[in-house]
Structure 1
Amino acid sequence: MALLMRMTQTFGLLSLFFSFSAFSESEQPLKGESVDIITPRAVSIYLPNNLIPSSVLSQFTAQTGIIVEQRVYNIDTPQHISRRDYSAVDLTLIPYSYFPAQTELASHFKPIAKDSLSNASTIKPELNRVELAQHYQYSVPLMLHGIGIATNSKMLPPSMLTQWVDLHDEQWTGQLLILDDAQTLVSIALLGMGYPINNATDKQLQKSKQWLINMRNNAAFLSKEAPEMHFLSGQVSVGILSNDHAYIGSLEDADIAIEWPTEGAILDAYALSMNIDSDAEEDALLLMNFLMDKTVQSQISLYSGLTPVIDGLPMQSKLLKLLSAETIENGHFKLNSPESRLKYEQLFLEVKVR
C-alpha cells in the first residue's frame, strides 16, 4: 500500500514537472518566427530653409502622428535644385521658376486631385491664370514671392521710382543694389523694354543685355544672399529686392519700402508637388492640406515674409510686404523652360564680366 502511494506521488510530480516544462517552452519564440516591429508613419519633403518653421511641422506630427522628414536646400540659390535631391522624397516644395519643362511634368510628379485638398478651395482667385493652369495639374501653390523696387524710406520716398527703367537714372550711381539672379534680372530687362519675360528670343535677349549693362553702371553691390543687409548698413538707398528679404530687413529696423513698378512685379510661387515615385500618397496629401490651412499660412508668412496663397487672411504684421490682388494680377510669373534658364544665365554672366 505504501509502495502504491509513493508511486502515485512520483507520477504526480513528474506530471507537474512536464506541465511546467511545456509552459516554459510555449513562451519561447519558435525558430525562424519573425517579431513584428511597428514603424511610425512618416512623410518626407524637400524644401527651402527659412520658409516653413519647425513648429508648424511639429504641429502636424502632433495632430496626425505622422513624422515629417526634411531635406533642405538654400532658398537663395534655387539654381542648385536637382531632381536627384527631390526624387528621393514624397513631397517637393520648389519655386515655379525652377520647375521641370511643362512637357516633362508628368514624368516628375503625380497629378493632384484638388477635391482631395479641402483648403485648396480658398486659394486667391487672382491666381487662376492661364499660364499657370498646366502647373496646377501637378502642384499646389503655397506661398508667393514678389520682386519690386526697394528704397530706404529713411532717405527717399518710394514714389521716386515707379518704373523699372528708373533704375537707369544717373542720380542712383553708386547707390543701387542689384540681385545676383540671372532669371530675375533678365526678366526685369525684358519687361522694361515691353517684352514677355519668359522664353525670350535671341534678339530680345541681346537687347536685354544692353539694358542690363546700362543699369549695372549704377550698381554699388551685386548680392545673392542677405541683400537686405546693404540697406540695413546704409550702404545703398535703392535696389531690387523681394518681399521676403524686405521683411527680414524691416525686422532689423531697416525701414525698407517696396514699390511695385507700373510694368508689373516679377512673381514666383513656391509650390507643393508629389513625386512620381512616392508611396505615401495619403500622408503627403494630409501634409499638403495642413500647410494650406489659414492659421498655418499665417504662421508661415510671419516666419518667411512671403505672401499666403489663401484668400481673406488679415495682415498679421505691418512689416510684411504682402502682394495685393492688384499686384498679383498685374505681375509676371517666371515660368522659363530649363533651356531658357541656361540662356539667361549665360547672358547675365556676359553682363557681369563686361
Structure 2
Amino acid sequence: MSKLTRTLILILVVSFGLLYLINRLNAHEGYAGDNTLTVYNWGDYIDTDLIEKFEEETGIKVIYQTFDSNEAMMTKIEQGGTFYDVAVPSEYAISKMKEENLLIEIDHDKIPNLKHIDSRFLDLSFDKGNKYSIPYFWGTVGIAYNTKLLPNKEFKSWNDLWDEELENKILLVDGAREVIGMGLNSLHYSLNDTNEEHLQEAKDKLDTLTPNIKAIVGDEIKMLLAQEEAAVGLVWSGDAADIMWDNENIDYVVPEEGSNLWFDNMVIPKTSKNVDGAHQFINFMLDPENAAQNADYVGYSTPNNAALEILGEEVSGDERFYPPAELTDRLEVYDNLGKKMLAHYNELFLEFKMHKK
C-alpha cells in the first residue's frame, strides 16, 4: 500500500469519526426530531420533577438548557447553532424576537389549557393576541428590606432609599432597566422614558444614592440579603419570595410611584425541529396541577387562575406578590426601546456604576 493511499484512508477514517462525533453532539444539543424536545429557560426556573413527568406522559426526551439573560438567549437563537423548541424570554425580548422573525406562531387550538390563564395577562402590548407567546410567570420589581435591622423604617416610596440612615446598607441588582428605571420612577417618569433630559436627571439623582449602596450584584443578592449582609435590596418579586422563605425578617413592597410589571412567556423559536412537541410542552405546563406545582417550587407569581385555586388563599391573597388592580394599573411593562436607546440606558448605568466605585 502506497504512502498516499494510507494517507487517504487515514483522512477518510478521521472524517467519518468527526462526522459521527458531530452527529452525537448535535443530538445532545437538541438537533434530534420528534422524540426530543430542547427547552431553553432561565436557571432554576422549573420544577425538574415536571420535566420527568412530561417525559413519562409523552415519551418525548427533554434536553433542558439554561441562560442568564434575555440578550444571551436571543444571541444563541439568532446564531441557530442549537435547534431550541421552547424558550422563555421576557416581554421586551419577545417584542424584539418578533421583529427579527425569530418566532413561530402558536396554534391556540393545540393549547386548550390556555383557558386557565387570567385575561389580565393576555393580549398585552408586546404580543397582541398572544400569537407568539404564552404566559409562564409574572412579577414586579420592588424593595426587599429587613425589619429586624431597620425596626423603625418603612418603605412606601423609591425616595425612601435616599435616607441617610441607610448608608452602606443597600444592594442593587445588576440591571440597567431596573436601576435606571428606579431613578426614573423616583422622579415620576416612565420606565420607558426616552427623553434625554429625563434620563440624565435620573442618572444624576442615582449618583447621589451611592453613599447608601453597599454593592451592585447578580444572583448572590438573595444569599446576601437572607444572611443579613445588607438591610435593603432592589429585587424582583420572585427573588424576594425566596429571601423571605430563608429569613422571616425580610419584607417586600412595591413603591407607590409605580414600578416594573414583568412577564416571562413561553415561545417557539424558529429553530424548532419539534413544533408539535413544543405545543404539547406548553399545554402541559398550563395544566392547573402542573402550574401550581411549578409556582410552589419557583416562588414566582402564576398567571394561571385554576392553579391559584389549588395553591389557596394563603398564596393568592398575599398582595405583595399578587397585588390588587389599583397597584398593577400603576405598573409598566418594559418596552422594546430599540438598540440605540437600550445602548444609551446601558451607558448611563455603566457611568453610574463607575461613579459608585
TM-score (norm 2): 0.79
Tell me what 2:329 maps to.
329
User: Partners in 1 of 2:196 and 2:321 — Cα distance?
Assistant: 34
Quick one: which amino acid aligns to residue 245 of structure 1? D
The answer to whether the 8 A contact 1:176-1:218 is kept is yes
Tell me what 2:186 maps to.
192
Which of these residues, 177, 186, 205, is aligned with residue 211 of structure 1? 205
User: Partners in 2 of 1:250 and 1:288 — Cα distance?
Assistant: 30
User: Partners in 1 of 2:200 and 2:213 — Cα distance?
Assistant: 20
The answer to whether the 8 A contact 2:122-2:129 is kept is no
State how 1:1-354 maps to structure 2 within 5 Å: 41-74=35-68, 77-85=69-77, 87=80, 88-99=83-94, 101=96, 104-105=99-100, 107-128=101-122, 130-134=124-128, 136-156=130-150, 160-198=154-192, 200-312=194-306, 313-314=308-309, 315=311, 322-326=321-325, 327-339=327-339, 340-354=341-355
Moved more, 342-351 or 295-304: 295-304
User: Partners in 1 of 2:97 and 2:89 — Cα distance?
Assistant: 15
The answer to whether the 8 A contact 1:151-1:158 is kept is no
SS in 2 for 1:160: coil
Tell me what 1:26 maps to.
none
User: Partners in 1 of 2:58 and 2:163 — Cα distance?
Assistant: 55
User: Partners in 2 of 1:129 and 1:211 — Cα distance?
Assistant: 35
Q: How many residues align?
A: 314
User: Partners in 2 of 1:241 and 1:79 — Cα distance?
Assistant: 19
Tell me what 1:32 maps to.
none
User: Partners in 1 of 2:204 and 2:302 — Cα distance?
Assistant: 36
Per the TM alignment, residue 127 of structure 1 is displaced from its structure 2 partner at its CA by: 2.0
For the structure 1 residues 216 and 184, does the alpha-carbon distance in structure 2 shift closer, same or farther, using more than 3 Å as the test? Answer: same
The answer to whether the 8 A contact 2:170-2:212 is kept is yes
Q: Deviations for 1:176-235, whole angstroms, at most 9, x for unmatched residues?
A: 121111111111212222222125232221111112112223112211122122222223
The answer to whether the 8 A contact 1:110-1:274 is kept is yes
SS in 2 for 1:244: helix
Quick one: which amino acid aligns to residue 95 of structure 1? S
Unaligned runs of 5+ in 2: 1-32
Per the TM alignment, residue 325 of structure 1 is displaced from its structure 2 partner at its CA by: 4.0
User: Partners in 1 of 2:315 and 2:150 — Cα distance?
Assistant: 19
Per the TM alignment, residue 346 of structure 1 is displaced from its structure 2 partner at its CA by: 1.0
The answer to whether the 8 A contact 1:97-1:268 is kept is no
SS in 1 for 2:142: strand
User: Partners in 1 of 2:192 and 2:54 — Cα distance?
Assistant: 37
The answer to whether the 8 A contact 1:291-1:297 is kept is yes
The answer to whether the 8 A contact 1:150-1:158 is kept is no
Tell me what 1:4 maps to.
none
User: Partners in 2 of 1:102 and 1:318 — Cα distance?
Assistant: 33
Q: Deviations for 1:124-158, whole angstroms, at most 9, x for unmatched residues?
A: 23224652343822111201132111111323469
The answer to whether the 8 A contact 2:85-2:278 is kept is yes
User: Partners in 2 of 1:325 and 1:331 — Cα distance?
Assistant: 11
Quick one: which amino acid aligns to residue 82 of structure 1? M
User: Partners in 1 of 2:195 and 2:331 — Cα distance?
Assistant: 21
Q: Deviations for 1:14-62, whole angstroms, at most 9, x for unmatched residues?
A: xxxxxxxxxxxxxxxxxxxxxxxxx871221111110012111111111
For the structure 1 residues 79 and 166, does the alpha-carbon distance in structure 2 shift closer, same or farther, using more than 3 Å as the test? Answer: farther
User: Partners in 2 of 1:90 and 1:206 — Cα distance?
Assistant: 41
User: Partners in 1 of 2:92 and 2:221 — Cα distance?
Assistant: 20
SS in 1 for 2:295: helix
Quick one: which amino acid aligns to residue 80 of structure 1? A
The answer to whether the 8 A contact 2:144-2:233 is kept is yes
The answer to whether the 8 A contact 1:102-1:134 is kept is no
User: Partners in 1 of 2:257 and 2:129 — Cα distance?
Assistant: 24
SS in 1 for 2:125: helix
Tell me what 2:17 maps to.
none
Rg larger in structure? 1
Tell me what 1:36 maps to.
none
User: Partners in 2 of 1:180 and 1:344 — Cα distance?
Assistant: 13
SS in 1 for 2:264: strand
User: Partners in 1 of 2:266 and 2:158 — Cα distance?
Assistant: 31
Tell me what 1:29 maps to.
none
Unaligned runs of 5+ in 1: 1-38
TM-score (norm 1): 0.80
SS in 2 for 1:151: strand
What RMSD in Å do the two structures reach over aligned CA positions?
A: 2.7
Quick one: which amino acid aligns to residue 210 of structure 1? D
The answer to whether the 8 A contact 2:77-2:269 is kept is no
